[in-house]
Structure 1
């Protein structure tokens, strides 16, 4: 009898308050072979990261979120606390101002073409 050797899969955390947008992003990331966790707001996202940040290699977050913390605030917080996590920020509503996002963050306009997201994911996995 052979035993399968399990290698830990790195995961992406998808944060978007719009269920359909979150579902679409999740499917693209899963199609790239990564595990995915989802959050519908920044408070939920931080709770997930605080519980087990080591499983995540990437974060994909929308800018506009319910509550007091935007995706930009989340991106800056994640970069400070968990610098190993690569970050992709998306938005249909606005483009971040110069200097709003931390270093090493890719911004994509929604709707995100799947090929563009795949390219950003592949780029982040090489860091």
Structure 2
């Protein structure tokens, strides 16, 4: 779990109301080198982001969740309030309509694999915010 202290691993927030999918996404992000926070809905995610935004570099959110904010709303508010946070929105049922997601966000379909998530993260995270395992896999992939 992420803590509000200085540490070498960047932090990610995983938001999904399905506990098994949330745990799977957290495992995938931890394998990529992130420390993780978790929230079961958009309202809890925004509360956590308001408190911990300084250490979070990635938001990984589902779309359909209980509460007053769905994943698209969480993504838009996050992009507006904390532009340093990279955003991945995932869904197996809903595809984003034009304007639903911030331009900086990336959408992936469910079910997702660790390779799929890691590839997207290598694309959207600046080098200074990539955890070592993502940087190392990228360098290993470009080796002759």
**TM exceeds 0.5?**
yes
Residue 87 in 1 paired to residue 117 in 2?
A: no
Inter-partner Cα distance in structure 2 for 1:23 and 1:124: 22
* Alignment size in residue pairs: 122
Inter-partner Cα distance in structure 1 for 2:60 and 2:7: 23
Residue 108 (structure 1) shift: 0.3
Match of 2:39 in 1: 39
For residues 1-127 of structure 1, what are the structure 2 equivalents within 5 Å? 7-126=7-126
| Mapped contact 1:12–1:56 kept (Cα < 8 A) | yes
Inter-partner Cα distance in structure 2 for 1:7 and 1:36: 13
Inter-partner Cα distance in structure 1 for 2:9 and 2:115: 22
Inter-partner Cα distance in structure 2 for 1:59 and 1:7: 18
Residue 7 (structure 1) shift: 4.1
Unpaired stretches in structure 1, ≥5 consecutive residues: 1-5
| Mapped contact 2:16–2:62 kept (Cα < 8 A) | yes
SS at structure 1 position matched to 2:54? helix
Give the aligned CA root-mean-square deviation in angstroms.
Answer: 1.3
Q: After TM superposition, which residue ranges in structure 1, 4 or more long, deviate above 6 angstroms?
A: none
Inter-partner Cα distance in structure 2 for 1:99 and 1:50: 24
| Mapped contact 1:14–1:36 kept (Cα < 8 A) | yes
| Mapped contact 2:10–2:33 kept (Cα < 8 A) | no
SS at structure 2 position matched to 1:59? strand
Residue 8 (structure 1) shift: 3.6
